[in-house]
Structure 1
């Protein structure tokens, strides 16, 4: 999935003198407070971290409260979705007007009817709402389906994404992986053009725990290496 990256960072964490006897715990607590929040300095949402304390002796800062700074070398796993990226998530709610998705267990996305390509038809089967492909009967999207979709916009403050199922490379991941070839290498310009054509056509018709994060970072690195 796009939008995930690993970054190396040199940080300074400022701690109160009362934390001097438990520096490592205090540092982890400070970093944990930044998890699953958009951080402008990092340029994304912090998902995981692995730190190495560089200073053996902290530097006392002058002021009313003599905080001390500890230098760190950190390995960060970031989530930075941008327009035209492909993301993956689980459908948690579906209606004729929209599809609601959860990404990585914390960020939400909505795909409204005008951003769902005409290939998909809304229907109810056995009291279950779903979108079924008119071209491929096995290509179905319903609650619980893992889907791949295109990012149209990302609200950094509330971590909410507006998505699109216009490109042919989007839909049920299970079906796409079985039937599509080289989806990850699709032509961006062609995708944008297709998206615009669909929009114009429609206008006419109106119609996890912090201490385990090092494992997540290593797994992501291995995945990136295997993909390259």
Structure 2
């Protein structure tokens, strides 16, 4: 799927002195706080990471709280969709005006009526909304279907 990329990053993680007994756990906790949130530094959402500490030494920072910085190398999996990319999502809701879907199990996407192809017509079947193709009767978009769409913005 487009929008997924790997990134090798050289990072410095700042650890509070109270966490100095178990630095590995503190580093993992700090990196876990990046997961499933948009990060401007990586220009995307971090989905996964693996860590390789570079040094056994840490540098103490001067200031009010003497944090220490640990250098490490991390391999990151980043989700960063750009315009004109193709993505796949599972449809979770259909209305006359839009199709709502979930991409990669965590990111929401909405396709509005102005971006839905003209060949698809909205119908209410059995109390649920569906989009049916005017040309191919078996081509139906309903809740639970997986669709492929192009990112506009």
Task: Please classify the TM superposition score into its range, dividing by the shorter chain length.
Answer: over 0.9
Matches within 5 A, 1:1-228: 1-153=1-153
- Cα deviations across residues 45-79 of structure 1 (Å, max 9, x unaligned)? 11110001111121111112111010111000000
Counterpart in the other structure of 1:167: none
SS in 2 for 1:131: strand
SS in 2 for 1:19: helix
- Cα deviations across residues 9-40 of structure 1 (Å, max 9, x unaligned)? 10000001111111111011001111111111
How big is the alpha-carbon RMSD for the aligned residues of Structure 1 and Structure 2?
0.9
The structure that is helix-richer by fraction is 1
TM-score by length of 1: 0.65
- Structure 2 CA distance for aligned equivalents of residues 69 and 16 of structure 1: 9
- Structure 2 CA distance for aligned equivalents of residues 46 and 83 of structure 1: 19
SS in 1 for 2:151: strand
State the Cα distance separating 1:96 from its structure 2 match.
1.0
For CA contacts below 8 A with separation 6 or more, give which structure has more relative contact order.
2
Q: Spell out structure 1 runs of 4+ moving beyond 6 A.
A: none
State the Cα distance separating 1:127 from its structure 2 match.
2.3
The unaligned stretches of length 5 or more in structure 1 are 154-228
- Structure 2 CA distance for aligned equivalents of residues 128 and 47 of structure 1: 33
SS in 2 for 1:20: helix
State the Cα distance separating 1:128 from its structure 2 match.
2.4
- Structure 2 CA distance for aligned equivalents of residues 35 and 79 of structure 1: 11
Aligned residues: 153
TM-score by length of 2: 0.96
- Structure 2 CA distance for aligned equivalents of residues 97 and 41 of structure 1: 35
- Cα deviations across residues 169-206 of structure 1 (Å, max 9, x unaligned)? xxxxxxxxxxxxxxxxxxxxxxxxxxxxxxxxxxxxxx
- Structure 2 CA distance for aligned equivalents of residues 66 and 95 of structure 1: 55
- Structure 1 CA distance for aligned equivalents of residues 146 and 100 of structure 2: 11
State the Cα distance separating 1:126 from its structure 2 match.
2.4
Counterpart in the other structure of 1:205: none
